[in-house]
């Protein structure tokens, strides 16, 4: 396996699709999908770690980080002590330098792909669901999934994690400690099921999952990967040593979704500028958006905005509003 990213962008299968290098076995499963595992010991007892990037094809820095990680594993520059799956989600969009071609893939998981006419993204989301379920099915150890993204919009928290909705409202202390040690500044708790990749792996595969937003989206070759040093070191520690023991030292801001701004019609307008940063604070009763007879206002004493986007299609989320909560109430 000479160049994982290059072959993925070309959507060319390698001449050899599996092999053994030193202490590891590797398996190429499809364009942008590999499994790498130690070739000694009880593999199913190990932590099973899925690292994905490129679900949005123009978010390239995490793709480059995972490509370097694969290269170092296959060249024996990095030790492996987990069963690892690497997924580069949307190779066609990656090659085009676009977020997606037809449909936002991160709105297609948990069978939501069936709600749309077949296209490259719906077929790929269905395939990634099947490969993910197969990967985690044999696990008798901890299951982990980190879906890596970057954002177009500037943010007051440069690196933050979105944790999928859970009925219990309880999340792993060890995972949050790892996030904090990897340079993540805040976590956001979703309050309802969604069609994201991380929700799929959490709900359907029982993995500890999250979506990571790690900085600005830039084209291939224009990323300063030194700005991603914290998460890069964290991922390398994760695959070589597994999750560290819980230290209860996580210093994270914790937010939960308080309300969703849904675009009901093309009359939808936001009451703030297009360049407002993620996690900008608004005070109670401030008007956030207007859509014909519907007015969205701040309902709590303070709410923070996340992912405002008035350009989405009617019926879709145009933004989230958040409230801050204490972190110790969410850990198990």
Cβ atoms 234, 178 nearer than 8 A:
yes
Q: List residues forming the annotated binding site.
A: 56, 59, 149
Look at residue 247 and tell me whether its pLDDT is greater than 70: no
Look at residue 248 and tell me whether its pLDDT is greater than 70: no
- Give per-residue pLDDT as tens, 113-160: 999 999 999 999 999 999 999 999 989 999 999 999 998 889 999 999
Is residue 328 very low, low, confident or very high in pLDDT (cuts 50, 70, 90)? Answer: confident
For the chain, first and last CA: distance in Å? 40
What local confidence, expressed as pLDDT, does residue 26 receive?
A: 97
CB neighbours of residue 132 within 10 Å: 25
Single out the catalytic residue among 137, 213, 229, 283: 213
DSSP 3-state of 186: strand
- Take residue 306 and report the two structure tokens written for it: 């996340």
213 part of the active site: yes
- Give per-residue pLDDT as tens, 18-77: 999 999 999 999 999 999 999 988 899 999 999 999 999 999 999 999 999 999 999 999
Query: Which residues, in sequence order, are CB contacts of 193 under 8 Å at separation 6+?
Result: 110, 165, 199, 203
DSSP 3-state of 215: strand
What local confidence, expressed as pLDDT, does residue 305 receive?
A: 98
Cβ atoms 176, 188 nearer than 8 A:
no
Q: Positive or negative, the Cα torsion across 296, 199, 66, 247?
A: positive
How far apart, in whole angstroms, are the C-alpha atoms of residue 245 and residue 24? 25
- Give per-residue pLDDT as tens, 165-187: 999 989 999 999 999 999 999 99
- Give per-residue pLDDT as tens, 89-113: 999 999 999 999 999 999 999 999 9
**If we measure between CA atoms, which residue out of 160, 153, 158 comes closest to residue 276?**
153
Is residue 250 very low, low, confident or very high in pLDDT (cuts 50, 70, 90)? Answer: low
* Angle between helices 173-181 and 229-241 in degrees, nearest 10: 130
Look at residue 331 and tell me whether its pLDDT is greater than 90: no
Cβ atoms 180, 249 nearer than 8 A:
yes
Look at residue 274 and tell me whether its pLDDT is greater than 90: no
Q: Residues of the chain with pLDDT > 90: what percent?
A: 84
DSSP 279-315: T-EEETT-EEEEETTEEEE--SSEEEEES--TTSPTT
Query: Which residues, in sequence order, are CB contacts of 327 under 8 Å at separation 6+?
Result: 176, 250, 252, 254
* Angle between helices 197-205 and 120-137 in degrees, nearest 10: 40
Mean pLDDT is highest, among 12-16, 105-109, 240-244, for 105-109
What local confidence, expressed as pLDDT, does residue 19 receive?
A: 95
- Take residue 229 and report the two structure tokens written for it: 């040093």
Q: What is the pTM of this model?
A: 0.94
Q: Which residue has the tokens 């793709």?
A: 63
Is residue 81 very low, low, confident or very high in pLDDT (cuts 50, 70, 90)? Answer: very high
Q: List residues forming the annotated binding site for Zn(2+).
A: 56, 59, 149
Look at residue 198 and tell me whether its pLDDT is greater than 80: yes
What local confidence, expressed as pLDDT, does residue 99 receive?
A: 93
State residue 128 phi and psi, 5-degree precision.
Answer: -65, -35
What local confidence, expressed as pLDDT, does residue 1 receive?
A: 59
Query: Burial of 193 by CB count in 10 Å (0-12 exposed, 13-18 middle, 19+ buried)?
Result: middle
Going along the chain from its start, the domains and CATH numbers come out as 4-241 (3.40.630.10), 258-329 (2.40.50.630)
Is residue 2 very low, low, confident or very high in pLDDT (cuts 50, 70, 90)? Answer: low
Query: Distance from CA of residue 258 to its chain's centroid?
Result: 21
């Amino acid at each position: 396996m000479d160049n994982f990213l290059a072959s993925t962008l070309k959507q060319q299968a390698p001449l050899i699709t599996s092999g053994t290098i030193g202490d590891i076995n590797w398996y190429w499963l499809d364009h942008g999908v590999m499994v790498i595992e130690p070739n000694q010991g009880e593999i199913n007892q190990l932590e099973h770690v899925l690292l994905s990037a490129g679900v949005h094809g123009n978010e390239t820095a995490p793709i480059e980080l995972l490509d370097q990680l694969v290269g170092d594993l296959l060249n024996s520059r990095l030790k492996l002590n987990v069963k690892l799956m690497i997924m580069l989600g949307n190779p066609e969009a990656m090659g085009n330098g676009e977020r997606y071609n037809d449909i936002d893939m991160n709105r297609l998981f948990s069978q939501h792909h069936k709600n749309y006419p077949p296209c490259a993204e719906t077929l790929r989301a269905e395939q990634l669901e099947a490969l993910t379920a197969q990967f985690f099915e044999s696990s008798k150890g901890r299951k982990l999934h980190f879906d890596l993204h970057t954002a177009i919009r500037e943010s007051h928290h440069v690196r933050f994690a979105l944790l999928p909705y859970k009925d219990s409202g309880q999340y792993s202390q060890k995972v949050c400690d790892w996030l904090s040690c990897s340079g993540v500044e805040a976590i956001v708790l979703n309050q309802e099921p969604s069609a994201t990749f991380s929700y799929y792996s959490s709900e359907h595969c029982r993995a500890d999952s999250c979506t990571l937003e790690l900085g600005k989206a830039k084209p291939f070759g224009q990323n300063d990967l030194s700005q991603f040093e914290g998460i890069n070191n964290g991922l390398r520690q994760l695959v070589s040593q597994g999750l560290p023991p819980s230290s209860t030292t996580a210093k994270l801001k914790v937010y939960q979704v308080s309300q969703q701004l849904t675009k009901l019609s093309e009359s939808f307008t936001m009451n703030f500028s297009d360049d407002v940063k993620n996690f900008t604070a608004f005070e109670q009763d401030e008007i956030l958006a207007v859509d014909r007879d519907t007015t969205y206002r701040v309902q709590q004493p303070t709410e923070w905005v996340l992912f405002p986007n008035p350009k989405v299609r009617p019926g879709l989320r145009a933004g989230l509003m958040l409230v801050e909560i204490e972190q110790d109430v969410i850990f198990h």
